[in-house]
Amino acid sequence: MKKWFIGYLKQHDENHLKYTLIEEIDNKDFREKIKRVYDYEYLENLFLFIIKNFQDFQESIKNLDTDSKNNIDDNINNYYLQHHQIDIQRTFFNLINSYKLSIDHIKHTLSSYEDKEEQHYQFLSKIASFYYDTFAGYKIIENLRNYCQHRSLAPLEIIRDSEGNVKIFITKEALVEDKKIRNKIKSELDSDIPFNFIYLVIEWFEKIQEIYNYYFDLFAEYSKDEAEYLLSYFQPVKKEIDNNNLELYLLAGHDESHIDQYSFLPTEIAIKIINRTKKEDFKNNIEFISTFVKDYIKEQEENENFTKMLKEHGLKLPEFDTITLSAINRYLKGKG
C-alpha cells in the first residue's frame, strides 16, 4: 500500500526525484479537505475558457474587416470573404455555449455543498434573470443562443461601406419567425433600432464578466477555510520554496525513500482565494449576494402588483425596451 506525503520537489526527471517531505497524510481525507480549492480553480478555468472563445470571436471579426478592406472590389458574399463569415459563426457558437456550459457546471458544484445557503444557490439563476431583464446585449444574445441551438446559425447580415468597413446586424425577421423568441423579446424586435451584432456581443460579454465577479466572490467565501488549511502546510517552508523556485506537491510511494508519484498542489489558487477575501468590496458583495434573491423577488412582486393596479384603472406605463436603453447608454458613454 502506498504512503502519501506533502512535500516539495527539488528535481524531477524520468530517472531521479529529489524531494523533501513535510508530513505524511491520509490522501483521501486530505483531498476532501481541499476539494473546494480545486473547485475554485475549476471556476477559473471555466472563465478562461469563455475569455479565450471571446478572443477567438474578436479575431474572426478583425480578420473579416481586414480582408474586406484589402479586397474592396470583391462582393462581401463571394467565396474568398465568405469563409470569414463561417469563422464568425463558429467562434460565436463556441462562445455562447461555453458560457451556458459553465453556468450548468457552477450550479452542479455549488449544489453539492452540504453547508450551502439556499439564497446563495438561487443567486446563480436570479442574477442572470436580473441581467436578462435589464441589459439588451445579455437578453438578445441569450435568445440568439437558443435560436442557434434549436433552429439554425445566427441570422446575420454583413454590410460594408465604400472603404470596406464592416458592420454586422442580426436579422430581426428571422427571430420574429420563432414564436418563443418573438414573445420573449417582442419590444426589442418592435424597436426601430437595429440589432448591431458586435455591440450586443460585447455588452453581453461585459455583463458576463460582472456576473463572474460575483461567482468568484461566492466561491471564495465557501473555499476560504480550505485554502487556509492548504496554506498551513505551505507557510512554514514558504521562504525555502520561494528562494529556490519550488512548488508544493502531493507525493506517494511505498515508503519515504521510494517516491514514484507526485501531483501539483494548488497553493497559488489558495493564495488567490485568501487575497480575494481581503478585497475592499468582498464583504459588500457577499452581503449583496445574500440579500439579492429576496430583494429581487420582492421587487418583481411589487412591479407585478403595480402593473396590475394600473391595468385595473385602465392605465399603462410607457415601455422602454432594453435595446433602446442600451443605445442611449452607449451614446452617453460616447460609444455611438
pLDDT (tens digit, 9 = 90+) per residue, 118-170?
A: 999 999 999 999 999 989 999 999 999 999 999 999 999 988 888 878 899 99
Region 92-111: mean pLDDT is 96
What is the distance, to the nearest Å, from the Cα of residue 304 to the centroid of all Cα atoms in its chain? Answer: 31
Give the sheet arrangement for strand 3-12, strand by strand: 17-25, 3-12, 248-253, 259-264
Q: Is the dihedral of CA 239, 242, 246, 250 positive or negative?
A: positive
Spatial distance between the Cα atoms of 302 and 246, rounded to a whole number of angstroms: 58
pTM: predicted TM-score of the whole model, two decimal places:
0.84
CA–CA separation, 21 and 244 (whole Å): 16
Report the Cα–Cα distance between both ends of the chain, in Å, rounded: 67
Rounded Cα gap, residues 119 and 171, in angstroms:
39
Percent of the chain with pLDDT over 70: 85
Percent of the chain clearing pLDDT 90 (strictly above): 64
pLDDT, average across residues 170-197: 94
Across the beta sheet with 166-170, what order do the strands follow? 156-160, 166-170, 195-196
- Domain layout of the chain by residue ranges: 3-33+221-320, 38-217+326-332
Is 60 exceeded by the pLDDT of residue 327?
no
Report the distance separating Cα 80 and Cα 71, nearest Å: 9
Say which residues have a Cβ less than 8 Å from residue 18's Cβ, sequence separation at least 6.
9, 10, 11, 12
pLDDT in tens, 159-179: 888 887 889 999 999 999 999
User: What is the per-residue pLDDT for 317?
Assistant: 43
Q: How far apart are CA 196 and CA 157, in angstroms?
A: 10
pLDDT tens by residue, 257-316: 888 888 999 999 999 999 999 999 999 999 999 998 888 877 766 655 545 555 554 544
